[in-house]
Amino acid sequence: MMKMHSRDAARAALTLLRALLRRQLHSVGIVGAPFSRGQPRDGVQRGPDVIRGAGLVRKLEGQDCMVKDYGNLIFEEVSNDHPFGTTKQPRAVGLANKQVADAVQRVKNDGYTCVMLGGDHSLAIGSIHGHAACRPELSVVWVDAHADINTPLTSPTGNIHGQPMSYLIHELHNKIPVMPNFSWIQPCVTAKDIVYIGLRDVDPEEHYILKHLGIKTFSMTEVDSLGIARVMEQTCDHIFSKIKKPIHLSYDIDALDPSLAPATGTPVIGGLTYREGIYITEYLCQTGLLSAIDIVEVNPKLAKREEEAQLTASVAVDLVLGCFGRVREGSHRADYKIPEP
């Protein structure tokens, strides 16, 4: 287990104390990762700024969160990034994810719940890796239309945003080739500590991997048959079966139905409703164990009209708000009094 530097521990304690003194329940650290090389469509690198543009920080502060925006990471261009086998742009993806891992680790050491705004879903490699460096016992809730668990050798497209989980799972370690700029990555999650929600477009090789490793999945069929409330109960029963673990929520906007989140690279019909999507965040929030969140694959350039881009970004904001205490019944300050005439 990595030892937390005593200065980091002190800083984290101070952040928490400050939040408590101001009656702020949540302290949120935001990292933007404007990166698109894990997939072929231009525009997803604008995700962090369109999500901020939809009022993310102001709305979080409006619900009494203490927010620190760490800004956007700056990724260098990588030249001669030819494919490794069929895997595309491995050097750029490996390098960017190292930066994301370092940034997430810093945000966690500063005492915040980390919100990583993508960018494409390849960035979950760095986000989960950096989170696990501080919280090695973490569990992962992966909300997505896709399983993103192809290995470089099973991937039908060679796009790394369809592969991030494969690099992180201990049980798949011996199936992963050594790729340029990927040598820093160590598996940090066990198959039993992962839950998928929202699946509806899974490759045969991925389906084999999910079944072979016994990973808990709630496809859209289970969401339909159980209802989202029982899906979330069973999700938490599964990840908390032995001890209460910090949760890494990796939320791909394409988990939601394309009618709600049209501005994304690989939309699949038949997704989560707005209410189901929000319920996931509300439920995980009230566990008190949400420790890091990814919001990825918002691509404003793929919107047919400006309203589609705005709708997708505002839904993304609502997901984050749900993670930090927004409840639909409404809320009020503890010291509120009705004014008297």
Question: Which residues are part of a known binding site for Mn(2+)?
Answer: 121, 144, 146, 148, 252, 254
Active-site choice (120, 161, 193, 257): 161
d(CA 184, CA 140): 20
Q: Does 294 engage in binding with Mn ion (CB under 5 A)?
A: no
Is 252 in the active site? Answer: yes
Classify residue 168 by burial, with Cβ atoms within 10 Å: 0-12, 13-18, 19+: buried
Whether 198 contacts 261, CB under 8 Å:
no
Is 144 in the active site? Answer: yes
Among residues 60 and 104, whose Cβ is nearest to Mn ion?
104
Number of residues that bind Mn ion (CB under 5 A): 4
Dihedral angle of Cα 182, 185, 190, 191, to the nearest 10 degrees: -10
Active-site choice (120, 254, 276, 318): 254
d(CA 184, CA 112): 24
Residues from 126 through 165 that contact Mn ion (CB under 5 A): 144, 148
292 half-sphere exposure, CB direction, 13 A CA radius: 34
Whether 147 contacts 210, CB under 8 Å:
yes
Distance of closest approach, residue 288 Cβ to Mn ion, in angstroms: 26
Among residues 148 and 308, whose Cβ is nearest to Mn ion?
148
Is 161 in the active site? Answer: yes
Active-site choice (121, 129, 131, 248): 121
Active-site choice (81, 120, 144, 193): 144
> Strand 65-72 to strand 139-143: parallel, antiparallel, or no bridges (unpaired)?
unpaired
x/- binding map, residues 110-129, to Mn ion, per CB under 5 A? -----------x--------
What order do you get walking across the sheet with 247-252 strand by strand? 65-72, 26-33, 113-118, 290-296, 247-252, 139-143, 194-199, 216-219
Distance of closest approach, residue 300 Cβ to Mn ion, in angstroms: 17
Among residues 17 and 269, whose Cβ is nearest to Mn ion?
269
Residues from 193 through 252 that contact Mn ion (CB under 5 A): 252
Among residues 81 and 144, whose Cβ is nearest to Mn ion?
144
Is 8 in the active site? Answer: no
What's 115's DSSP letter? E
Which residues carry out catalysis?
Answer: 121, 144, 146, 148, 161, 252, 254, 297
Positions in the binding site for Mn ion (CB under 5 A) = 121, 144, 148, 252
